[in-house]
Structure 1
């Protein structure tokens, strides 16, 4: 899946949203490894820095955590951000 290069939203946020949806849907389970930078570059067709920023955004939001030299993993459900009220 490539990123729409004409969408004004930053690419790293769109990639983070894609991974976030995979977490919410259960495709990625808590404590499971998230596709890394190299895989994200290949899947989304973006630069490595963009992929790194997407993974960092997920960690900053509480959806994942980063282990240096080991990758990014999905946080446990109790650490996920609260869903906004509809």
Structure 2
């Protein structure tokens, strides 16, 4: 999967949507880490700030939780 830099949808929203889809499909399991900012940068060819915005959007959606100095994990309360 990749992002479309020419799309009217901001890159961070595209990345967050792709990660959301992976969570919904069970590719990313509850209580397991999501890819790091560096991994997101490499996988999607995005800037660090874009990766941070994508993770922040996932937090706002309640799909992930960030534990300081540990990482960001798929939320376990909101799983189906």
**TM above 0.5:** yes
Aligned pairs for 1:30-69 (under 5 A) are 30-69=30-69
Query: What residue ranges of structure 2 are gaps of 5+ in the alignment?
Result: none
Cα RMSD for the two superposed structures: 1.5
Aligned pairs for 1:1-86 (under 5 A) are 1-76=1-76, 78-80=77-79
Structure 1: 4+ residue segments shifted above 4 A? none
TM-score (norm 1): 0.86
TM-score (norm 2): 0.92
Aligned equivalents of 1:41, 1:18: Cα separation in 2: 14
Aligned equivalents of 1:47, 1:2: Cα separation in 2: 14
Query: What residue ranges of structure 1 are gaps of 5+ in the alignment?
Result: none
1:31-76 CA-to-partner distances (Å, cap 9, x unmatched) read 0000010000000001001001101110111000011122110001
